[in-house]
Amino acid sequence: MEMSPNTVSSVLFPWSLWLLFFLTPVTRTTSSAPSSEAPPPANTTLLFDSGTSLRNCSCSAALRDCDEALANSLCRCHTAPRSALPPAGLTEPGTLTVWLKELWVLEELLNSSRVGHLRLSFCGIKPMDSQYLALLGLRTLRIHSAVPEAPYPHQEMTISPAAGLAMEIETLSFDISSSLSVTFLDVAVLNGLSALKAYSVLGPPAHTLPQHFPHLALPLALPSTDTPGDPKDPSEQASEPPLLFTFIY
């Protein structure tokens, strides 16, 4: 039996109902030093650009953003040549801190990385142009802008559907935690000029993405995009994890 692609997708994907929701950022407009009361955090990875290479540090201390001299003296750091960066992006399920001055760090280091908790500090002078950065599995984002007089120097956001949506998600009868989260971050937010805004869309299935977001080049090999155009076994398609797309701008 032949089915049109549209029929197939509406039959097989309950989440093709598309659930759209807005996320609320936690905005901190005043610059706050890390609290000294907090329990000592486990070592976190800090990466920052030093011209043609990258400093890769393991830090136990909480540092002031962009203070490279302090990082070099308090953390255990080594230099990683730019040419040795993993071409497919980084994988850091825990916390990753990145201080950057130039776009190449985002392009060559972070784009299409899998990071659970990302702290991005923009330490440069030349403002970032609007461009999106794709991240997989992101749960929290903290951004800092060292641009002088930036009205929003510190902001953070948690990427999870609002509690109020739990019911709607339940009625779609799948576990939101099984979804694959893909975040598109407009890097212009690093200029600190506006409050973070975000929304998430649950679905559509990855292979229909180009149809719905034609201008989005997905720099990721999603499970269902590796054989585009191949007719697929419907049962295989039905087991695709639902995708949670979040746009932060």
Ligand X SMILES: *[C@@H]1O[C@H](CO)[C@@H](O)[C@H](O)[C@H]1NC(C)=O
Binding footprint of ligand X on the chain (CB under 6 A): 43, 47, 56, 58-61, 74-76, 80, 85, 90, 106-107, 111, 131-134, 187, 217, 219
Nearer to ligand X, 43 or 158 (CB): 43
Q: Which amino acid is at 70?
A: L
CB of 163 to ligand X, least distance (A): 32
* DSSP code of residue 65: T
CB of 218 to ligand X, least distance (A): 7
Nearer to ligand X, 19 or 57 (CB): 57
Nearer to ligand X, 176 or 182 (CB): 182
Nearer to ligand X, 75 or 169 (CB): 75
**Under 8 Å between Cβ of 184 and 216:** yes
CB of 216 to ligand X, least distance (A): 8
**Under 8 Å between Cβ of 98 and 122:** no
CB of 105 to ligand X, least distance (A): 9
C-alpha angle with apex 159: 154 to 163, nearest 5 degrees? 115
CB of 116 to ligand X, least distance (A): 15
Nearer to ligand X, 43 or 160 (CB): 43
Q: How many residues does the chain have?
A: 249
CB of 18 to ligand X, least distance (A): 23
What HEC string does 120-155 produce? EEECCCCCCCCCEEEEECCCEEEEEECCCCCCCCEE
C-alpha angle with apex 203: 224 to 173, nearest 5 degrees? 105
CA distances from 228 to 128, 208, 222, 224 (A): 34, 10, 11, 8
CB of 108 to ligand X, least distance (A): 8
Nearer to ligand X, 7 or 131 (CB): 131
CA distances from 12 to 197, 237, 242 (A): 32, 8, 12
* DSSP code of residue 237: H
Is the CA virtual torsion 192, 193, 195, 198 positive or negative?
negative
Nearer to ligand X, 228 or 231 (CB): 228
